Structure 1
Amino acid sequence: MKIAVFFPGIGYRFEKPLLYYSKKLAKECGYDTLVDVDYQIRKTANIRGNAKKMQEAFEEACASAEKFLAPISWKEYDEIVFISKSIGTAVAAHFTNFYHLQAKQIYYTPLAQTFLAEPTPGIAFCGTADPWVPEPDAVLCQCAKAHIQSYRIEGVNHSLEGNDTMKNIEILQQVMRRTKEYLQENRSG
């Protein structure tokens, strides 16, 4: 059996393109159990650029996520993938280590906070015009240190989008193609 677990961002929920289509791809790739970790973060105002508030949001997300993850019998699954967005990348990294899982990781727009949670290898997608990541090269460097294959996408924001709708659709297609290829790879951990 295969399980795919989805960790959203604060404002980037499951119906948004990256998570919506990655869920469809996971199902197509044989992941028979799909879990949305629908944590709630109460204090979302003025988080960006505030390390203390970001840490509080991370801790709140982890506490909330535990109720979705605690009942899962991880040993029942031959393959586990965590697909995460923004703050969800930090939460996914935390729980991979907390449960000592050999999980594939797909990190959409990881934050500096993600690397404090000691992420495990996987793939990541980062935009160069992301206001949540003022130094994308630093994040890409952290990805390399953590053995995360990263894809740098020029001129896109935290949703991996720019100002040109047709270009955004092309970018989404490229990201989903790489996501599918990664999902189809043999177990990596």
Structure 2
Amino acid sequence: MSQGNPDIRQQVEANRGALKKLQLLIPGLRGYRSKEDIRVSDELLRNQAADRLDRVKKNLEEIRRQLASSNDLTNITTIGSLVSQVQGVSGEVRHAAQGYAGWVAPITINEDKLNKLYDYDYAFINSVFQLEEATSPANLKYDSASPNSIQASLGELGRTLGDLKQKWSMRMETIEGIALK
């Protein structure tokens, strides 16, 4: 996949118990088990992304505390908006649909679509890693002697977060093939 991050699907397959391995041998259950394993992998991946977004929020809240203690009201609104947006995206990611499709669903979610969903979420988490890195204490610093110095960084974070939110909003539409082109 990328950057030395493991493909969780392989770990889920390796950790199958005896019952799950038996299900793979039964024709009616084989497809169900394979799809369910991909769903589990995707959920684990999304939870990791949400955890990282929670760290981004924590980093931004630390900067907000510094702004408040310096009475910097110019930047506190901007950082508050970023915190709120990150919290919203984190919740959406953590509680997103897993690609279930009932017997008579209008859109079928087959194994290929589930794998695409996983790949999409995997690429998304790499964007989350970049956002986390950008908000780390080593990269996002506030200097109370020069309050305007953080504005460019906050503007860039706003654009990066906007791109991240756009990627997330296109997730299911892209996977289901119903996105407008």
Is the pair's TM-score, using the shorter chain for normalization, greater than 0.5?
A: no
Could you say which structure has the larger radius of gyration? 2
- More contact order relative to length (CA 8 Å, sep ≥ 6): 2
TM-score between both structures, scaled by the size of structure 2: 0.29
**Structure with a larger share of its residues in strand:** 1
